Amino acid sequence: MPEQYLTVARAGVHETEINRSRFLCALAPCATEREAQEFVARVRAEHPAAHHNCYAYVIGADASVQRASDDGEPGGTAGAPMLQMLLRREVRYTAAVVTRYFGGVKLGAGGLIRAYGGVVGEALDAVGTRTRKRLRLATVTVGHQRAGRLENDLRTTGRTVLGVRYTEAVAIDLTLPDADVAAFRGWLADATAGTARLELGGEAYGDA
């Protein structure tokens, strides 16, 4: 798993005009390929009169799923440069749809490549990105008498608490950067007088 990746901060649309053609780039974070396909379908439904709704998306922290479509533009002039812009900017779990309303002036292959790739880059700048880092899932188990104070301490020191489960003891689920695990063990022992137990689980990505 890569240590981190970028994804779009939110869904958004950026519009630009090139030689009288309108280019609208819609971006959205997508957790799965199905979500990306559904996003593409929604944008197409919003612009039924557009001449082209070209798309590209990258799913997976390692960019394992890459898809692109020229949607009627000359082959390789729309979807491919859109995809290359996402990859060049190291953006993952993101779908981009560029809707073009033709303005009557042909751009040529080079012009189309610059236009489609460029509007995706502009949209990424306008919408913004956020970093997702690889984290370790962990569970701290502690007695009821210390649980409330410990949970508060975890939150006030910036730890991401995913949930709290109350049974015979209290289990607090959280995430930790791998590099912080050793230091966290020491902090936890001091904070609970050695009464808490730390169990490490799998890996996930979270906000940096």
Q: What is the DSSP string of 111-163?
A: HHHHHHHHHHHHHHHHH-EEEEEEEEEEEEEE-HHHHHHHHHHHHHTT-EEEE
pLDDT of residue 198: 96
Q: How confident is the model at residue 181 (pLDDT cuts 50, 70, 90)?
A: very high
Euclidean distance between CA atoms 67 and 187, whole angstroms: 45
Architecture of domain 4-127: 2-Layer Sandwich (3.30)
- Report which of residues 43 and 3 the model is more confident about: 43
Q: Does the pLDDT of residue 208 top 70, yes or no?
A: no
Specify whether the CB–CB gap between 126 and 40 falls below 8 A.
no
Euclidean distance between CA atoms 86 and 105, whole angstroms: 27
Specify whether the CB–CB gap between 75 and 109 falls below 8 A.
no
Rounded to 5 degrees, φ, ψ at 128 are 90, 160
For 110-165, how does the pLDDT look when each residue is reduced to its tens digit (9 = 90+)?
A: 999 999 999 999 999 999 999 998 899 999 999 999 999 999 999 999 889 999 99
Q: For 133-207, CATH number? A: 3.30.70.240
Per-domain residue ranges of the chain: 4-127, 133-207
pTM of the full structure: 0.78
Q: Does the pLDDT of residue 204 top 90, yes or no?
A: no
